[in-house]
Structure formats: C-alpha cells, structure tokens
Chains A and B, each alone.
Chain A
C-alpha cells in the first residue's frame, strides 16, 4: 500500500511537469499553438511542440529542424542540451519528466490478463531505438533533402505517436481546414498510435523500450550521469526482489546504472534491506 502511494507520488510529479510545460490552455480552446519566446527553449522530455498547450520545444524535433535546415546541418544547440541534461540526470527524465512516459505508465495500469514482462528477442528489439535515432532523426533529415537542401523531420513525420496524440488529434479536431487536408500519412500515424496504446496496456513502456530516440540518447549517459544509483554490496543479500519489480527488466543489483533504467525508484522502494541508494 505504501509502495503504491509512492508510485502515485511519481505520477504526481510527472503530471505536474506535463501540466506546467503544456499550460497554454488558450491553445486548446482556439485550436492554435503557443507562439511566444519560450519556444526557443527545449524541454527535457518527448513533448510535441505542436501540442496546443506546449510552451517549449521538443528536443528531438529541434535536432531534426536544425539538421534539416539548408544552412546548418549540425545541431549543436539541441545536441548540447541533450548532453547537458543526459550527463546530469540520464534517464531520470524518462521516469519523471516525460509526458509520453506518463501516458504509457497510466495505460499500463489498465488490467490485462497476461501482462508481458520479457519475451524472446526483447533484448535485441531494445537496440531498435538507436537505429531509429541514427536513421530517422539524423541521417534522413541530413541527406534526404529537397531542391533547396531542406530535409523533413522524418521521425516526426513517419513515426512519432506523441506528435499524433499531443498535436495531430487535438489540432485536427479543433480545425475544420486541417480535417479537409487529411490523407494516408495521418491514417498511418494513427495506426502507429493505436498500436502503441494497445501495447502499452500489455507491455510496460513499449515505446520507451524499443522506439524512442530521446530515450536512446539519455540511455547512453545513464552509466555516467551525476544523478545515479548505487547498490551497497555489504547490505545486498541477492534476494532478487529489485529485479522482479523492475518494469524495464533491469537487475539493479547487477548494474544499478543500466542504460535501460529510467530511475523510477521502484527497486529502491522494494529493497527489504535498503541497499539501493
């Protein structure tokens, strides 16, 4: 019961952050997006800048925008931001500050007869997010360009279900003119969103585990980030409870700073001898 309560405390922080960074309520009322100066700044989590409430810029969108622009090609601003956040906090952002992480967390609370923990090919599939980062976020916007030398944000365009959910659906519902422009791409992105939603009920955070390029970036920093976990070997009895409660299938006793750990703290709370700090 106490553990349950603490789990909801994390969801409270996630929700508060999501509300704070998406608090342009007029956007939802008018079917428009915020156009002020704050949009210069990136937010740490995956948060579509075309969400009517969004006050900041999605860092993955920002990387693609600069790489795909005809005059820049290398995205120092957004990459430096990701390095700064990643080096300080690693995937703590995923566990606490990403609205799309929260959505998946909540979806996974919906009861389902056979929740899937791990399966054959799970480990290999986790590498897919790195391929998506390199191909769709970096290479395609850089090299697949139009006559002006501009590349589209291919991850946003072809994959991102957060964009569909946070930007696409509300804006299309609120704008008549947009509804008349819908085509196969919108349908495709909605199919991907639907698959993500259904899978999130069955599997804990499937998008984070297999697809998210932002999670891929932060995961690289996890082993060296300033905020990190430590297991007190003198206290640890090797009972394995921490590994059992981990939704990301990490064994903290073996590697407390594994690239897949989102610092949700479930292991820390469940440890009977308080060996995880």
Chain B
C-alpha cells in the first residue's frame, strides 16, 4: 500500500509537467505557431540539406 502511494507521488511531478506541456502546446497552437512549423516542414529546408 505505502509503496503504491510512494510510486504515485513520485509520478506526480511528471504528470503535472505533462499537463503543463499540453497547455503550453495549446497556447502555441492558438498563437498560430503550427503554420510556421508546417511552412518550414513542407518546403525543402536548405539549411538541413546543407545548401543554404
């Protein structure tokens, strides 16, 4: 029982941060950042390739 509780508490910070991560992600999507990511990802990235 106590080990169970211990495990749960050990996992709490991770769970809280995961939820916070989702909220931050949502804020970024709301600001329209996804469009920038898409724009970059669907065009050949010259820097990645090593040309530009």
Contacts and interface: CB of A to CB of B under 8 A. Distances in A.
A185 B51 contact: yes
A186 B52 CA distance: 9
A156 B47 contact: yes
Given A77-B28, A178-B51, A186-B51, A83 B37 contact: no
Nearest to A83: B21
Nearest to B7: A230
A84 B33 CA distance: 17
Interface stretch (A34-42, A95-103, A194-202, A247-255): A34-42
A141 to B, nearest CB: 10
B25 A84 contact: yes
A82 B45 CA distance: 21
Contacts of A35: 42
Contacts of A40: 34, 37-38, 41
Interface stretch (A1-9, A159-167, A266-274): A159-167
B10 A186 contact: no
A162 to B, nearest CB: 9
A49 B36 CA distance: 13
Nearest to A56: B41
A168 B49 contact: yes
Given A65-B37, A84-B22, A188-B50, A221 B14 contact: yes
Contacts, number: 165
Interface string A32-53: 0111110110100000111000
Q: How large is the interface on A (under 10, 10 to 19, 20 to 34, 35 or more residues)?
A: 35 or more
A84 B18 contact: yes
B23 A224 contact: no
Contacts of A225: 14
B50 A80 contact: no
Interface of B: 7, 10-11, 13-18, 20-29, 31, 33-34, 36-42, 44-45, 47-52
Given A40-B38, A172-B49, A186-B50, 12 more contacts: A34-B42, A35-B42, A49-B45, A50-B45, A54-B41, A66-B33, A66-B36, A76-B24, A85-B21, A157-B52, A163-B49, A221-B14
